[in-house]
Structure 1
């Protein structure tokens, strides 16, 4: 199973949507709440090559982007192969 990491904030509809898709697929993930741990924001931006909005999603250290990018991978049938590594 792939290692999935998601940087999020509370009250973020995109974060909730991304987490709901992962939950629907029964994928466990590590959630980093940058609103509760602001020191993680700089780490997120560095790992995401400048991406500063949430969510920022990583699968096995591969940055796939945010919620829209993850939904696009899902629609194209490319998300499940990434998650099954």
Structure 2
């Protein structure tokens, strides 16, 4: 019997074998996340630092669509923002979606999407983006 099995048998003495195997997988997934989270954090931080505007998004989210529409219609099309200064990271099909949302929670205080970053600072989500634009403050941030 492996040391991990012994630990889980002591922690969960009356559990079924299938639950024990599931718990072991969850345990090892949790351990491996720690190594992966550092890489994810570096990647996200590099993307945010490398662009004027970064949106962490899910393609089906109406708030994400709202935020992206503001930038596309009001800043990209008229040429106020260049394509190479703008990055949308669609995380709904990313295998690290959960970890990215956990990281957003740590970085911004919210794990919901969209998370909109301008010059490295999070301005909030879709509603905040629309509000700042309607107040004329979004252009000043760019």
**TM-score scaled by structure 1?**
0.83
Question: Using the alignment, how far apart are the partners of 2:68 and 2:113 within structure 1?
Answer: 12
Which residue in the other structure is 1:52 paired with?
111
Question: Using the alignment, how far apart are the partners of 1:46 and 1:33 within structure 2?
Answer: 19
User: Which structure's residues are more often helix, by fraction?
Assistant: 2
- For these two proteins, the number of residue pairs brought into alignment is 81
Counterpart pick for 2:101 among 41, 48, 53: 41
Root-mean-square deviation over aligned CA pairs: 1.5
User: Which structure's residues are more often strand, by fraction?
Assistant: 1
Question: Using the alignment, how far apart are the partners of 1:6 and 1:81 within structure 2?
Answer: 18
> Which structure 2 segments of 5+ residues have no match?
1-50
Q: Which has the higher contact order (CA 8 A, sep 6+)?
A: 1
Q: Any conservation in 2 of the 1:32–1:40 contact (CA below 8 Å)?
A: no
> Which structure 1 segments of 5+ residues have no match?
none
Deviation track 1:22-76 (CA, whole Å, cap 9, x = no partner) reads 011113321122222213222222221x211111100011110001111111111
Q: Which has the larger radius of gyration?
A: 2
